[in-house]
Amino acid sequence: MKLSQAELERFDRDGYLFFPGRFTPQEAGVLHRAAEEVYAMHRDEVWREKSGAPRTAFAAHLYNEAFRRLGAHPRLIEPVMQLLGGPVYMHQYKVNAKAAFDGEVWQWHQDYGTWARDDEMPEPRAMNISVFLDEVTAANGPLLLIPGSHKQGVVAAGHDLETTSYPLWTLDRETVTRLAEEGGCVAPTGPAGSMLMFSSLLVHASPPNISPFGRTIVYLSLNHVDNYIRKLQRKEWIAHRDFTPIDPLSDDCLAELAEMAKSAA
């Protein structure tokens, strides 16, 4: 699970690494079914678009077995421990849908901007690692990244309470344009099971999905245990307060669950 020297250098330069098909179709299938289960739940953690379509299930690792296993999967936890230089805990866990036709925009932002301002996370010693549960294409609202933008530190932002149902510290257009003129703008696309890791300082966004195909991505936001948040203001299932280091499970933990489901069927 170790990142190579070349990968470490690319992460340092670009602020992200993309691994198409890192999880098997079988593993991605288990997680996709889990997403359908949690989106069918009526709980505070499950947020919807203005249209009623699911948008985000927070903290799904606490109430779904497949997402619990993914939350300690060595393919996710170990490279992040390597990059952050030590044990990590789960700061945030999101299963983000981008519903067919109705999936809304996420405006340009840095995650650490929100974590610093809202949660008093001391340093950007935290990052995201995500798994695609559907094929992500140019058509269904891919994540857009500005390579190299993580080198800018925390960029000035305004609190957007209007665009969508989720409050977010977003960047102004002049800043986004300036960063993209330097670094460009990329949209990693790939099959279900692809894995994307990116710096908590990387500027990113995602467009609305007008296509007839939904797409769901799970995001783990992992934080170095020494860098735990100081301000417990947001809901505990949005900015977690359990700072216990994650002990990675075995590499076949999801495949095992798929086998169990198959033999039970």
Q: Which residues bind a second copy (CB under 8 A)?
A: 100-101, 105, 107-108, 137-142, 144, 173, 176-177, 180-181, 185-187, 189, 205, 207-213
- State the DSSP code for 175: H
What is the DSSP secondary-structure string of 186-229?
B---B-TT-EEEEETT--EEE--B-SS--EEEEEEEEEEGGG--
Considering the complex, state which of residue 3 and residue 187 has its C-beta at the smaller distance from a second copy: 187
Closest distance to a second copy from the beta carbon of 46 (Å): 23
Q: How far is the CB of 250 from a second copy (least distance, A)?
A: 35
Q: Which of 181, 236 has the CB closer to a second copy?
A: 181
Closest approach of Cβ 149 to a second copy, in Å? 11
- Which one, 36 or 252, has the nearer CB to a second copy? 36
In angstroms, give the least distance from the CB of 183 to a second copy: 11
Residue 92 or 107 having the CB closest to a second copy: 107
Nearer to a second copy (CB atom), residue 35 or residue 179:
179
- Least distance to a second copy, CB of residue 197, Å: 19
Q: Which is nearer to a second copy, 83 or 203 (CB)?
A: 203
Q: How far is the CB of 130 from a second copy (least distance, A)?
A: 17
CA distances to 36, 126, 127, 156, 169 from 152, rounded to whole Å, are: 38, 16, 15, 10, 16
Q: What are phi and psi of 207, to 5 degrees?
A: -80, 165
What is the full DSSP assignment across 92-154?
A: EEEEEEE-TTTBPPEEEE-HHHHHHHHH---SS-EEEEEEESS-B-TTS---EE-TTGGGG-S
The pair of three-digit structure tokens given for residue 130, joined into one six-digit string: 């995500």
What's the rounded Cα separation, in Å, for the pair 112 and 169? 10
